[in-house]
Amino acid sequence: MAKIDRQALQKLRDITGLGMMDCRKALEEANGDIEGAVETLRKKGAAVAAKRSTKETAEGVVSMYIHPGDRIGVMIELNCETDFVANTENVRQFARDLCLHITALKPLYLVPEDVDPKFIEHERSILHEQLADSGKPEKILKKIIEGKVNKLYSEICLLNQPFVKNDQVTVTQALEELIAKTGENIKIKRFARFEIGA
């Protein structure tokens, strides 16, 4: 087993915010490679999130942000299993970060399932018309259209957007990392964004 470098361990802790033992184990699995260790921890976060997803989330926190100039305001409700976790700095910081994210990236919906199906069908038909003269087979056209619809979801749905504090992960992946850190199911229940003149 490779000896784990102290600097690499500290760097991984800084990147992920996870405890020393989790980071050491991930670095050992990745033979000291920080990127590999981050990937291992992300997968672990997704696995923990999947396990905890059925747990009831009756506690939580409401966070808000008013942008300088008082023209944009955001409120968000995060739910978790216990008030103890709701009051941790990790959860409160994540809620604040989400408020800033919503201010900047202007999501319209929480998840793709919230988007009006008629709107999506309309977008699909427009895309189909745009691509109809391309000469590509129908099977390829469908794949291109689905790719463009998924890109649209990543622009308008909060959970699908690249996270403003780390655009290498989506908001869903950042949430999974928080779930892994806290060991509790955490859900973004709802949000509202207000902008004068919008």
Amino acid making up residue 150: N
Choose the final residue of a domain: 52, 67, 86: 52
Q: What is the mean pLDDT of residues 75-83?
A: 93
180 or 96, which is more confident?
96
Q: What is the mean pLDDT of residues 72-100?
A: 94
Task: Please report whether residue 122 resides in a domain.
Answer: yes
pLDDT of residue 53: 57
Cα 165 to Cα 75, 121, 139, 180, distances in angstroms: 18, 32, 37, 18
- Kindly report, residue by residue over 119-130, the tens digit of the pLDDT: 999 998 998 888
Amino acid making up residue 106: K
Residue with tokens 């709107």: 119
With a cut of 60, say whether residue 46 has pLDDT above it: no
Task: Please report whether residue 177 resides in a domain.
Answer: yes
With a cut of 90, say whether residue 54 has pLDDT above it: no
With a cut of 80, say whether residue 166 has pLDDT above it: yes
Task: Please report whether residue 46 resides in a domain.
Answer: yes
> The domain that contains 19 carries what CATH number?
1.10.8.10
Task: Please report whether residue 85 resides in a domain.
Answer: yes
Same domain, 31 and 122: no
pLDDT of residue 19: 66
Q: Which two tokens stand for residue 133?
A: 């003269």
Query: Mapping DSSP to helix (H, G, I), strand (E, B) and coil, where does residue 180 land?
Result: helix
Task: Please report whether residue 1 resides in a domain.
Answer: no
Report the alpha-carbon distance of residue 98 to residue 46 in Å, rounded: 19
Name the DSSP letter for residue 63. E
The model carries a pTM of 0.70
With a cut of 80, say whether residue 139 has pLDDT above it: yes
The total number of structural domains that make up the chain: 3
Q: What is the mean pLDDT of residues 45-62?
A: 68
Q: Residue 27 sits in which domain range? A: 6-52
pLDDT of residue 174: 94
What DSSP assignment string belongs to 67-99? -TTSSEEEEEEEEES-HHHHTSHHHHHHHHHHH
Same domain, 65 and 94: yes
Same domain, 43 and 136: no
Contact assessment for residue 12 and residue 23, using Cβ atoms and an 8 Å cutoff: yes
Query: Mapping DSSP to helix (H, G, I), strand (E, B) and coil, where does residue 184 land?
Result: coil
Same domain, 85 and 120: no
With a cut of 60, say whether residue 52 has pLDDT above it: no
With a cut of 80, say whether residue 164 has pLDDT above it: yes
Provide CB contacts within 8 A for 103, sequence distance 6+: 65, 67, 72, 74, 193
Q: What is the mean pLDDT of the chain?
A: 86
pLDDT of residue 1: 47
Q: Which two tokens stand for residue 117?
A: 């199906």
Query: Any idea what the Cα angle at residue 15 is, between residues 9 and 19, rounded to 5°?
Result: 55
Same domain, 95 and 63: yes
